[in-house]
Amino acid sequence: MNKRKYLTHDEIQRLLQASREGTYPVRDECMIKMCFIHGFRVSELCHLRISDISLEDGIIHVNRLKGGLKTTHPLLKSELLLLKKWLKERLLWRGSDTSWIFLSQKGGAMSRQQIYKLIRSYGAAAHIPVDLSPHMLRHACGFALADRGADTRLIQDYLGHRNIQHTVLYTSSNSARFIGVWQGDV
């Protein structure tokens, strides 16, 4: 299998589509989408609480692990709609009185192992030719931000990196940053 450490835009879309055909489509699509959009580490995703989100303000408080910087991100419109749908469905789940956003079948917080298993399963269903892990969604977030023209400092803050050396891999591989360096004809 390919050793690539991130997913492409097309692969993210295929992964989301595969999750819509799973046993718990709303929860799983919401979880994958949020993991990608906010660049969550799997443990950060597992520890998300209802109190971390303000649906009214359209924001999420991101509590980074590994000594990362805490930030507040806006929620995208599509993400907000999906999150509202999940939280409504979640009310019918065992454990809905707990503060965890993403619940397992048994009503507790999703575990790292459960999320790894889901991501791998959806990756296989989507015919993605790499051995998937949730961390690949974090890397895909960094590369997607660089592809959209975000500078290294913004990506550093967004992903909560204290050391910019952990961030430069996203922008250094983006060839679009060189467009316009040679203005006119040489």
The CATH number of whichever domain residue 85 belongs to comes to: 1.10.443.10
Annotation says 106 is catalytic: no
Stronger pLDDT, 41 or 67, i.e. the higher one? 41
**Rounded to whole angstroms, how far apart are CA atoms 36 and 144?**
9
**Rounded to whole angstroms, how far apart are CA atoms 146 and 154?**
9
Residues 16 and 132: beta-carbon distance below 8 Å: no
Annotation says 5 is catalytic: no
Residue 185 lies in a domain: no
Letter string b/e over residues 82-99, b meaning 16 or more CB atoms within 10 A of that residue's CB? bbeebbeebeebeeeeee
Residue 183 lies in a domain: no
What is the rounded average pLDDT of the residues 161-165?
67
pLDDT on residue 72: 94
Stronger pLDDT, 29 or 185, i.e. the higher one? 29
The one catalytic residue among 14, 33, 38, 41: 41
Which residues constitute the domain of residue 147? 9-173
What is the rounded average pLDDT of the residues 158-162?
79
Residue 178 lies in a domain: no
Name the band, by pLDDT with cuts 50, 70 and 90, for residue 180.
Answer: low
Residue 49 lies in a domain: yes
Residue 59 lies in a domain: yes
Annotation says 24 is catalytic: no
Name the band, by pLDDT with cuts 50, 70 and 90, for residue 44.
Answer: very high
Q: Sign of torsion, CA 166 160 104 123?
A: negative
Residue 98 lies in a domain: yes
Annotation says 41 is catalytic: yes
Task: Indicate the number of domains in the chain.
Answer: 1
Structure letter (DSSP) for residue 59? E
The two beta strands, 53-54 and 71-74, are unpaired
Does residue 139 surpass a pLDDT of 50?
yes
* 94-115 residue pLDDT tens: 999 999 999 999 999 999 999 9
Calculate the average pLDDT of the chain: 88
Residue 3 lies in a domain: no
pLDDT on residue 1: 46
**130: phi > 0 → left, psi -120 to 50 → alpha, else beta; which?**
beta
Name the band, by pLDDT with cuts 50, 70 and 90, for residue 55.
Answer: very high
What is the rounded average pLDDT of the residues 34-39?
96
The one catalytic residue among 9, 49, 66, 94: 66
The one catalytic residue among 73, 135, 166, 177: 135
Annotation says 66 is catalytic: yes
Name the band, by pLDDT with cuts 50, 70 and 90, for residue 164.
Answer: low
pLDDT on residue 169: 66
The one catalytic residue among 90, 138, 139, 158: 138
Residue 181 lies in a domain: no
The dihedrals phi and psi of 50, each to the nearest 5 degrees, come to: -55, -40
Annotation says 84 is catalytic: no
